[in-house]
């Protein structure tokens, strides 16, 4: 009798080990390969898993092993992808199965549908031919400006020496033509008809316009678009086109970084600094970091593009670890926007009671800004007014007893949304747990009927703006308005088409969009994002403000003004604003680097979090305190490895659970890794999955957290 074929399979479970199964080549019609996606019996149910080992023996009794039931009609996941998954699993302290399986689209995780998929694909193929994306924005190599040409030349320099890892930072202000440069760069790679490239973007909203541009460069190539906004069906097909090599261009958000791309030859990470690259649930990976690892492992080039690089990337480029390519002028020659700081503490900038043009309510914009808006409208330019809070008002309050609209499930306030935003009527909504309630007519505490809103969000601002400029066409853009009737794309189109004079919205409008007629951009609540417990707050705010500034005067031609930016703040002297005033990205990054160095914060050290979630905060804190004590007793805490005291999270209670965290920090990456592995092992021993057996605490380890 021939030797049995034993395969080891990992499943989507927080279990470290894989499971052995028998492979019957006669039934399955083929021999096993590492990377095959299979259906297996697991307990009383059937589960989907991935083969990670093929052998002829098992530590278990062979005749007790169960049989693999089915194999997916797919090529096996390629060895490079499995290496990446292995790395991610180790580095982010998640089991291999939990790391791989969630990256496989739903379509391929339903074994009963496997047989039907070919039909589905054929149908999709037919449909696809009908839907033609019109390419737009092609700028060929000869059309590049001298600066872009120089950048492209540097990028091409090494393309002869294939099979080499290169990491390149392409830094240039918004509108400097980075996209045009990297698309020209990719076109050389794509001359090889079998080559595949990966382009990562931080947000779904940015994919349609980049899709059009990519299409303009590569009209003949198949492009697979992968992000969470793509339907399950389409995502399954796009993933299939990537794994089979049919798609040569894989464009997507962070989840695309883990797509099987067997002939991957180059990677671009656009807006590499963006925090959306960090996955905030499940395996909490950074898609940018994984993309860099992948390029390094596969000996291919990776280009990181940004106007405001992350401190990590910028320092790597400065020190020569990455190549550094810069574009310092705006591609179409427009000047930089002029930044104006409005000191809201200065009475001169504010309306006085009875001033002409002031809104009847407490004015929501300063007099200085209002005058600028009026002037800009008269010049037939569009205005963009940003406030980083959606809804009408962040909290409802009772003026008699100080009752506030707290969420019953979270330690957060419920936000007032006016009629039409989330429902037919006005509602209170919690942005943390999603709880929606109708608005009380009386104070639930004291019965007072005089309930007032505190603060303001996009909706209230929209009302105030409409009142102040009754003739202007006002459009609100935030996730509420884009979810309703029209999608975000259509709202953006309204702006492009010039059907709008004033746009009120959250930062969602500020990212990447190439509006041509914006003369003024204003940011109203900049301070609220500056003073937060998170040490990255200023870095993030700076990047956002530069991004916002990039929306103004993009299309201006040589010598023309680049538009005006107005920032309302109580602290105009803060470093982040002062560097912005001078458009000094490098100055700001150097300043931030020295601050971090002094405090030994990332990137001068590495951090990890242990999260704990329980019915009560006390329990969560106690769980983490015990963990800390154990680590201390084991001699793991020392000069090189610092463990802070457990603290409640910024939003402590969410959906009825209370949450705490423990920060672990070391300048030595390896030491931190070892400590985390020990913690993981110890916690696992006393847990079922990731829930501790005794106190029912849900715990999770996170590497390189970006929100502390």
> Which of 337, 262, 684, 649 shows the shortest CA–CA distance to 522?
337
Closest to ligand ADP by CB, 421 or 510: 510
Query: What whole-number distance in Å separates Cα of residue 52 and Cα of residue 95?
Result: 13
Query: What whole-number distance in Å separates Cα of residue 470 and Cα of residue 465?
Result: 8
Residue count, binding to Zn ion (CB under 5 A): 15
> Which of ligand ADP, Zn ion, none binds 317 (CB below 5-8 Å, type-dependent)?
none
Binding piece for ligand ADP, criterion CB under 6 A, among 172-180, 485-493, 591-599, 601-609: 172-180
CA distances (Å), origin 580, targets 43, 177, 270, 320, 459: 59, 21, 22, 26, 28
Minimum distance from CB of 7 to ligand ADP (Å)?
46
Binding piece for ligand ADP, criterion CB under 6 A, among 140-148, 343-351, 365-373, 399-407: 140-148
Length of the chain: 708
Q: Is position 430 an interface residue for Zn ion (rule: CB under 5 A)?
A: yes
Q: Is position 673 an interface residue for ligand ADP (rule: CB under 6 A)?
A: no
Q: Is position 332 an interface residue for ligand ADP (rule: CB under 6 A)?
A: yes
The only residue of 466, 494, 514, 561 in contact with ligand ADP, by rule CB under 6 A: 514
What 8-state DSSP symbol labels residue 68? P
Query: What whole-number distance in Å separates Cα of residue 57 and Cα of residue 72?
Result: 24
Query: What whole-number distance in Å separates Cα of residue 505 and Cα of residue 459?
Result: 9
> Which positions ≥6 away from 82 have C-beta within 8 Å?
34, 35, 52, 100
Minimum distance from CB of 445 to Zn ion (Å)?
4
Q: Quick count: other Cβ atoms within 10 Å of Cβ 499?
A: 10
CB-CB contact of 464 with 365 (8 Å): yes
Query: What whole-number distance in Å separates Cα of residue 488 and Cα of residue 476?
Result: 11
Q: Is position 403 an interface residue for Zn ion (rule: CB under 5 A)?
A: yes
The only residue of 171, 174, 207, 382 in contact with ligand ADP, by rule CB under 6 A: 174
What 8-state DSSP symbol labels residue 707? -
Q: Is position 138 an interface residue for Zn ion (rule: CB under 5 A)?
A: no
CA distances (Å), origin 670, targets 174, 285, 644, 675: 37, 18, 19, 9
Binding piece for ligand ADP, criterion CB under 6 A, among 141-149, 152-160, 248-256, 599-607: 141-149
> Which positions ≥6 away from 132 have C-beta within 8 Å?
none
- In the region spanning residues 410 to 429, those forming contacts with Zn ion, defined by CB under 5 A, are 410
Q: Give phi and psi for 262, each to the nearest 5.
A: -60, -30
Closest to ligand ADP by CB, 116 or 153: 153
Binding piece for Zn ion, criterion CB under 5 A, among 202-210, 286-294, 445-453, 700-708: 445-453
> Which of ligand ADP, Zn ion, none binds 599 (CB below 5-8 Å, type-dependent)?
none
Beta pairing class for 502-505 and 474-477: parallel
Closest to ligand ADP by CB, 283 or 305: 305
The radius of gyration computed from the CA coordinates of the chain, to the nearest angstrom, equals: 27
Query: What whole-number distance in Å separates Cα of residue 84 and Cα of residue 295?
Result: 10
Q: Is position 401 an interface residue for Zn ion (rule: CB under 5 A)?
A: yes
> Which of 122, 91, 80, 38 shows the shortest CA–CA distance to 259?
80
Binding piece for Zn ion, criterion CB under 5 A, among 110-118, 216-224, 439-447, 488-496: 439-447
Binding piece for Zn ion, criterion CB under 5 A, among 151-159, 200-208, 406-414, 635-643: 406-414
> Which of 37, 31, 115 shows the shortest CA–CA distance to 71?
37
Residue count, binding to ligand ADP (CB under 6 A): 17
Minimum distance from CB of 410 to Zn ion (Å)?
3
Q: Is position 521 an interface residue for ligand ADP (rule: CB under 6 A)?
A: no
Query: What whole-number distance in Å separates Cα of residue 618 and Cα of residue 624?
Result: 10
Orientation angle between helical segments 287-298 and 79-91, nearest 10 degrees:
130
Note the Cα 659 to chain centre separation in Å: 23
Query: What whole-number distance in Å separates Cα of residue 433 and Cα of residue 701?
Result: 22
> Which of Zn ion, ligand ADP, none binds 331 (CB below 5-8 Å, type-dependent)?
ligand ADP
Q: Is position 407 an interface residue for Zn ion (rule: CB under 5 A)?
A: yes
Q: Is position 656 an interface residue for Zn ion (rule: CB under 5 A)?
A: no
> Which of Zn ion, ligand ADP, none binds 443 (CB below 5-8 Å, type-dependent)?
Zn ion
The only residue of 84, 85, 88, 139 in contact with ligand ADP, by rule CB under 6 A: 139
Query: What whole-number distance in Å separates Cα of residue 300 and Cα of residue 302?
Result: 7
The only residue of 104, 144, 199, 364 in contact with ligand ADP, by rule CB under 6 A: 144
Closest to Zn ion by CB, 408 or 560: 408
Minimum distance from CB of 654 to Zn ion (Å)?
6
Q: Is position 437 an interface residue for Zn ion (rule: CB under 5 A)?
A: no
Binding piece for Zn ion, criterion CB under 5 A, among 3-11, 69-77, 390-398, 668-676: 390-398
The only residue of 14, 75, 137, 262 in contact with ligand ADP, by rule CB under 6 A: 137
Residues engaged in binding Zn ion (CB under 5 A): 398, 400-401, 403, 407, 409-410, 430, 432-433, 435, 443, 445-446, 448
Residues engaged in binding ligand ADP (CB under 6 A): 137, 139, 143-145, 148, 172, 174-180, 331-332, 514
């Amino acid at each position: 009798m021939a030797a049995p074929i034993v395969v080891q399979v990992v499943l989507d479970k927080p279990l470290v080990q894989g499971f052995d199964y028998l492979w019957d080549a006669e039934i399955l019609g083929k021999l096993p390969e590492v990377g095959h996606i299979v259906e297996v019996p697991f307990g009383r149910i059937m589960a989907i898993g991935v083969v990670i080992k093929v052998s002829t023996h098992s530590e278990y009794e062979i005749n007790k092993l169960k049989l693999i039931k089915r194999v997916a009609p797919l090529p096996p996941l390629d060895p490079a992808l499995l290496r990446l998954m292995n790395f991610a699993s180790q580095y982010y302290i998640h089991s291999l199965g939990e790391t791989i399986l969630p990256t496989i689209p739903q379509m391929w995780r339903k074994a009963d549908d496997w047989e039907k998929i070919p039909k589905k694909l054929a149908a999709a193929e037919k449909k696809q031919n009908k839907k033609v994306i019109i390419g737009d924005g092609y700028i060929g190599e000869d059309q590049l400006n001298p600066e872009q040409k120089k950048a492209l030349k540097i990028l091409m320099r090494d393309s002869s020496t294939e099979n080499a890892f290169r990491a390149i930072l392409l830094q240039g202000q918004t509108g400097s033509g980075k996209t045009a440069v990297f698309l020209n760069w990719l076109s050389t790679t794509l001359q090889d008809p079998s080559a595949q490239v990966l382009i990562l973007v931080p947000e779904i909203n940015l994919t349609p316009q980049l899709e059009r541009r990519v299409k303009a460069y590569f009209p003949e190539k198949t492009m697979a678009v992968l992000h969470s906004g793509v339907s399950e069906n389409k995502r399954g097909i796009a993933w299939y086109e990537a794994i089979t090599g049919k798609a040569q261009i894989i464009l997507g958000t962070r989840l695309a970084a883990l797509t099987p791309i067997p002939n991957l030859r180059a990677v671009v990470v656009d807006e590499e600094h963006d925090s959306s690259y960090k996955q905030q649930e499940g395996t909490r990976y950074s898609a940018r970091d994984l993309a860099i690892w992948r390029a390094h492992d596969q000996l291919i080039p990776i280009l990181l593009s940004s106007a405001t690089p992350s401190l990590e990337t910028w320092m790597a480029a400065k020190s020569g670890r990455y190549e550094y390519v810069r574009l310092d002028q705006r591609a179409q020659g427009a000047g930089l926007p002029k930044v104006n700081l409005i000191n809201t503490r200065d009475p001169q900038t504010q309306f006085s009671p009875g001033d002409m043009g002031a809104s009847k309510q407490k004015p929501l914009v300063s007099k200085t800004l209002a005058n600028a808006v009026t002037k800009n409208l008269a010049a037939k330019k569009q205005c963009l007014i940003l406030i980083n809070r959606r809804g009408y008002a962040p909290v409802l309050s009772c003026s008699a007893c100080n009752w506030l609209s707290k969420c019953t499930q979270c330690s957060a306030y419920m936000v007032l949304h006016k009629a039409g935003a989330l429902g037919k009527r006005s509602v209170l909504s919690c942005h943390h747990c999603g709880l929606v309630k109708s608005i009380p007519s009386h104070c639930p505490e004291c019965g007072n009927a005089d309930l007032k809103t505190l603060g303001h969000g996009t909706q209230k601002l929209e009302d105030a703006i409409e009142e102040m400029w009754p003739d202007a066409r006002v459009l609100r853009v935030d996730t509420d308005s884009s979810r309703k009737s029209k999608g975000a794309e259509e709202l953006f189109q309204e702006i492009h088409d010039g059907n709008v004079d004033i746009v009120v919205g959250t930062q969602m409008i500020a990212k990447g969009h190439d509006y041509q007629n914006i003369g003024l951009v204003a940011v109203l609540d900049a301070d609220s994002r500056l003073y937060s417990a998170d040490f990255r707050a200023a870095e993030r705010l700076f990047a956002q403000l530069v991004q916002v500034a990039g929306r103004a005067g993009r299309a201006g031609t040589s010598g023309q003004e680049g538009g005006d930016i107005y920032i309302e703040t109580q602290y105009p002297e803060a470093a982040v604003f002062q560097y912005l005033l001078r458009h000094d990205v490098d100055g700001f990054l150097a300043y931030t680097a020295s601050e971090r160095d002094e405090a030994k914060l990332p990137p001068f050290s590495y951090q990890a979090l242990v999260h704990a979630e329980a019915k009560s905060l006390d329990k969560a804190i106690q769980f983490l305190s015990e963990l800390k004590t154990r680590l201390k007793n084991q001699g793991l805490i020392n000069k090189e490895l610092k463990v802070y005291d457990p603290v409640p999270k910024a939003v402590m209670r969410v959906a009825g659970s209370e949450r705490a965290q423990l920060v672990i920090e070391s300048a030595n990456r390896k030491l931190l890794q070892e400590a985390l592995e020990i913690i993981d092992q110890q916690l696992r021993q006393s847990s079922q999955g990731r829930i501790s057996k005794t106190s029912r605490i849900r715990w999770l380890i996170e590497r390189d957290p970006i929100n502390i």
